[in-house]
Structure formats: structure tokens, C-alpha cells
Amino acid sequence: MKSVILDVDTGIDDALAIAYAIHSPELNILGITTGFGNVSAEEATRNTLQVLQLLNRADIPVYRGAERPFRRESTRHRAYDVHGQDGLGNIQLPPPELLSSGLHASDFIISMVKKYPHEITLITVGTQTNLALALEKEPFIIDLVKEVIIMGGAVTVPGNVTPAAEANFYADAEGADFVLQSGLPITLVGLDVTMKTLLQRRTLADWGSCGLKTGEIFAEMCSFYMDFYESKNPGLGGCALHDPLAVGVAVDPSFIKTTSMGVRISKEPENLGQSIGVAADKGISVGLEVDAERFRAHFLNRILPAEKKGSHHA
């Protein structure tokens, strides 16, 4: 079993990634760290606690982290248009009964890596800020992390926030570049592969009628995200399972094929957050191909609690 820390900016696809990770017996989730991105760090923390409560896993500890980018006073990015005013498609989940821990997300990452050297898998599906802060405070952890799987970037395809940049790297370009140049063993799960792994609208109807509260809530939550995708990407055929694919790669790395290269993140205003692949350098395993059908079937088989599942179209 892999010991993982999931770093999120919850967000609709983050919520799906949390559920998928929880329902994956290969993963032992030590804690979830939160930060700004799709929403504020406060909202991401609340949303994470609400999703854990919905999934009856309020026992998983949550650590609130970065409120702002690594080297800037404020972010240029929020994604309420993609994820709704509450970040979860305006579904009005009950307020969380538990609070997040008082420990900062970056300190939790450091403490777990120290405690379990060479055993921790970090899955980061928001900005890279918490990890960058941890590396800056305690650079020695670089040699002690087992692997890092990052949902971020767009090396061979256009961005989704600007023509150049993907959202997670745009929101904190300096933090992303700091992490990518650190020497950590990184697998990049960017738009190159995540824009090919789609949730289809017909699945929402299946979830809504499957007889499970979680299914109904996820169907409602995802319909906001689906509407956004359909309006922005007519003809795409669904909404992208960005963050779940990073979890999928932790469970089964063979879902993607990677190429080793260097990746720099632009900090220049004209192409802020752009991922620039450097073929002559090696070191980052960049996902460029994905077995989308096999991944989607795996994801759909696990996303809802095990007791009673609706019929899914794979």
C-alpha cells in the first residue's frame, strides 16, 4: 500500500480525486493538505472537510496551507466560473463538524517525510505552493520523498487559463518552477493527458439515479462543471478528469506513458505559467499518452461507495 499525502484546492475535480483516492485500497491517505487555487485556502479547506464528511471519512486529517503564491502577494487566478461560487458547484453541503488541524500544510508534509523516509507519495492537484514552502524550509526532504505526482502544466498542448498556461501553474508560477527544478522525482500529469480523460454527461444521469446519496450529490456537483466545459469546449464530449487522473497514476502508473525531459515554468508576464519542455534535459517524467478508456472504467468503478453502485457506462 502506498502512503500518500493529497494536496488540493477543492474544486469539483479535486472532490472527485479525493473520493477516488479514498475508495482505492492501494492508497493509505495520511492527510490532505489544502491551499488557494480554484478558491481561497479557507474555502478549499472547508470544501475538503465537507467532502470527507459526505464520504464518512472525517477521520482523515486536513491541514490548511498557502493563502497566496510562493513569491507574490496575491494570485491572478480563481476559478469560480469553473467550480461555482462555493467551489463545489453550489451544492450546499452541510457545514463541517470538524476543523482542520492547526499545523500548516507545509509542516505536515515535512513531518511525514521525516517520519517515513523514502515512503511518501505526494499527489499535488492544486498549486505547488505548499510543497515549495516545505522544500524551502527543509531542503533535505528532497532526497527522502518517494515520488511526486503533479496535476499541472501543458507541455505539448495549449493552456486552459491563458493560451500558454494551465491553471495550477498559472496560479503560482514561481512555486511550480521551484518544485520542478528541485530534483524531486516528479511525474507530470498535465493537460497533455487530462484533456483526454473525460467524464461524460450520461454518467451524471447514472449517478443521479443510482440510489446513493453520494451519487446524487456528485451528479449535481458535476453538472455545474459539465455545463462550463460544454460552453467552453463544444464538441469535446465531456468534462476533464484532471485531478482524478493524478490519483489514478498513483494507483496504476501504466495508465499513462511518460517521456523524461526538463520542464521550466515561465515567470514572464506575457506567458506566465507556461510549461516549457526541454528535451535536452532529463528528470521529469511527463505524461504524453494515456489509456483513457481503461482509466475511466477504473475511476467509474471506484468513485462511489462500494455497497451499491449504479450501472456505469464505461
What are the residue numbers of the active site? 9, 242
The one-letter amino acid code at 78 reads R
Rounded CA gap, 21 and 33, in Å? 14
The one-letter amino acid code at 268 reads E
Please tell me whether residue 125 binds Ca ion under the rule CB under 5 A: yes
Q: Distance of alpha carbon 147 from its chain centroid, rounded?
A: 15
Closer Cβ to ligand BDR, 11 or 238, answer by number:
11
Cβ(33)–Cβ(4) under 8 Å?
A: no
Please tell me whether residue 43 binds ligand BDR under the rule CB under 6 A: no
Which entry of ligand BDR, Ca ion, none binds 261, CB below 5 to 8 A by partner kind? none
Rounded CA gap, 175 and 233, in Å? 29
Least separation in angstroms between CB 178 and ligand BDR: 18
The contact mask relative to ligand BDR for 256-285 (x = CB under 6 A, - = no) is: ------------------------------
Please tell me whether residue 168 binds ligand BDR under the rule CB under 6 A: yes
Please tell me whether residue 147 binds ligand BDR under the rule CB under 6 A: no
In this structure, the dihedral spanned by the alpha carbons of residues 280, 284, 164 and 234, taken in order and rounded to 10 degrees, is: 120
Closer Cβ to Ca ion, 30 or 82, answer by number:
82
Rounded CA gap, 107 and 113, in Å? 10
Give the chain's end-to-end CA distance (angstroms, integer).
Answer: 26
Least separation in angstroms between CB 59 and ligand BDR: 24
Least separation in angstroms between CB 218 and ligand BDR: 15
Which among 116-124, 132-140, 165-173, 282-290 is the span making contact with ligand BDR, rule CB under 6 A? 165-173
Cβ(133)–Cβ(140) under 8 Å?
A: no
Which entry of Ca ion, ligand BDR, none binds 47, CB below 5 to 8 A by partner kind? none
The contact mask relative to Ca ion for 225-254 (x = CB under 5 A, - = no) is: ------------------x-----------
Please tell me whether residue 172 binds ligand BDR under the rule CB under 6 A: no
Among 271, 288, 291, smallest CA distance to 279 is for 288
Rounded CA gap, 3 and 30, in Å? 6
Which among 11-19, 39-47, 179-187, 284-292 is the span making contact with ligand BDR, rule CB under 6 A? 11-19
In this structure, the dihedral spanned by the alpha carbons of residues 290, 295, 296 and 302, taken in order and rounded to 10 degrees, is: -160
Cβ(252)–Cβ(298) under 8 Å?
A: yes
Residues lying near ligand BDR in the complex (CB under 6 A):
11, 13-14, 38, 79, 82, 125, 151, 160, 166-168, 242-243
